[in-house]
Amino acid sequence: MSIVASVLLQATVYGLVSGRLGAADSLALSCAGFGTAAVVFNVVLLVRRRGGGAVAQSERVTGPLLAMNALTAVTFLGFYAALSWIPSGLATAIETTVGPLAVALLGLAGVGRRPTGRAWAGCAALVVFGLAVAWRFTGTADLGSITGLAGIGLAVLAGTGAALLALVSADLGRRGVDPVRVTAHRFHLTYLCGGVLLAATGGAGHRWAAGLPALVATGVLAVTIPLFLLQRGLQRTDPMVAMVLLTTLPGATYLAETAFHGGFDPATLALICCLVAAAAWYARSPRPASGRSGVRQSSAERVPAVRQEQ
């Protein structure tokens, strides 16, 4: 499963570098990963075309690709803005647990598959366990203040953006668009906006050039490769299942941090196990045999759905 591999790789790398990166370093790492993804996968497309290899194309995908650019930037910038006002563990937990709920609410509005009772139950369990894990990480952290509420709102915005990304990705998957093509084109607005934000906040320090090779290498492992795996999985997986699997990322990161740096907490581990169990319970449940899992399409644009990853 591409999404599970993406989660495990991200969690491992971020667990390894935990405590070594400040806010500016983390932003620089993500920008390096996004920029590298754009360069690497555009080169792959160029090599394929020059070598006469088949590159999966589809008509009328400019709109969805532009939407992917905008949604990725909103999700990324919303998350990093949230980090300015609330702890990172809480921001990550809110973003990931909002994803399944946002997919369910969009389904009620007619965008994607209408949620079942099982989906609502899964969303409720994930929100409860996800926020409980976040509370173990951060406590209350003055969340009733204006800045705390703003941070929560931005994390919710990021989670909603992630849900919409899953829906658009599913639509691109049904159209037969190559994930390499999507990855090559979806990050341009994100790394540009991220670079502006990095410059506005003072940059990554005076010695950024000396540390650039290590930064890029880490960005490839933490961002470039995981996001390609995630994109491939999003295009083959029901959006609700994808969002449910992503709720395990904060817990997996915590476990990686514990493995590399110590600090084991039995209560937190128990909550993470409950979260993973709830995600596995929903992800392994049978999917409805009919219905759409992506954004609305006209009858002229519908193509057979690709096989879902399980």
300 within some domain: no
pLDDT at 143: 66
143 within some domain: yes
306 within some domain: no
223 within some domain: yes
297 within some domain: no
Is the torsion defined by CA of 262, 273, 104, 143 positive or negative? negative
CA distance 69 to 189: 6
304 within some domain: no
Q: What's the pTM?
A: 0.83
Give 310's pLDDT tier (boundaries 50, 70, 90).
very low
290 within some domain: no
Mean pLDDT of 217-236: 92
Give the domain extent around 233: 2-51+60-283
pLDDT tens profile 77-96: 888 888 778 777 778 888 88
Number of structural domains, the chain?
A: 1
Give 105's pLDDT tier (boundaries 50, 70, 90).
very high
112 within some domain: yes
CA distance 186 to 165: 10
